[in-house]
Chains A and B, each alone.
Chain A
């Protein structure tokens, strides 16, 4: 089983739609979680960190479910500019250096 798993998509949605992505992780001791966004042929950019209580940033809401070991990202009122690959990132809490473990990404296509 992969450490971090995501549905690769693509998710095709119209503008204005609400879309949700899930990501599951295998290491129950993981403590830090992030969503990154990567546009085609560009670098990953930190979208948001995911906190235990869940957090919201404008149209984006991230949730963490430790019992089921998944995190989610909800995008409301999708814009054309939201089209990108969304990477789920987990940091397993091993001793020593904490290394980012990336999921394979979920591709989102928002159409007019």
Chain B
């Protein structure tokens, strides 16, 4: 079953709040990703974890802090966000980050974040 779950579905937070987004997959995938998507734009890669280690940080501001507690879980900790950070935050996973046919990424439903 190709399923990635994310919580919460919606989140409204003030600029001084601290919150966390959570992502979980039980497909045995070893790579997990965070993307940010603004309206009418494609997803933009933020972070990649491979075998529970951060392998890519696409120059994301430090107010976004990822964490991978184990191979099934991925968190994104949020602190002191700006209104322009409002977007859909998508988690994805893939079997691995190398190897043909292992690139296929499966996305969770996303967390719609509004920063006020």
For chain B, what secondary structure do more than half of its interface residues adopt (helix, strand, loop), or is it mixed? loop
Q: Which of A46, A99, A103 contacts B104 (CB 8 A)?
A: A46
Question: Which among A14-22, A37-45, A56-64, A67-75 touches the partner chain?
Answer: A37-45
| Interface residue B60 (Cβ < 8 Å from any Cβ of A) | no
A25-52 near B? 1/0 per residue, CB < 8 Å: 0000001101000000111111001000
Assess the B103–A43 pair: CB atoms within 8 A.
no
Interface size class of A (residues with CB under 8 A): 20 to 34
Chain A residues in 8 Å Cβ range of B110 = 42-43
A41 CA / B107 CA spacing, docked (Å): 13
Give the complex CA separation of A97 and B100 in angstroms.
12
CB-based contact A99/B105 at 8 Å: no
Query: With A43-B90, A43-B107, A43-B110 known to touch, is A100 a contact of B45 (CB < 8 Å)?
Result: yes
Chain A, range 54-112, C-beta contacts under 8 Å to B: 87, 91, 97-100, 102-105
- The smallest C-beta distance from A45 to any residue of chain B, in angstroms, reads 7
Q: What 0/1 readout, one digit per residue, does chain B (8-49) give for beta carbons within 8 Å of chain A?
A: 000000000000000000000000000000000111010010
CA distance A85 to B56 in the complex (A): 27
Closest to A8 in B: B40
Are A99 and B56 in contact, CB atoms less than 8 angstroms apart? yes
User: In the complex, are the beta carbons of B101 and A97 less than 8 A apart?
Assistant: no
Q: Is B51 an interface residue (CB 8 A)?
A: no
In the bound complex, how far is the Cα of B54 from the Cα of A97, in angstroms? 12
Q: Can you list 9 A-B pairs, Cβ within 8 angstroms, ordered by A?
A: A43-B109, A43-B110, A44-B107, A46-B105, A49-B104, A87-B42, A97-B56, A99-B45, A99-B48
- Measuring CB to CB, which residues of chain A are less than 8 angstroms from any residue of chain B? 31-32, 34, 41-46, 49, 87, 91, 97-100, 102-105
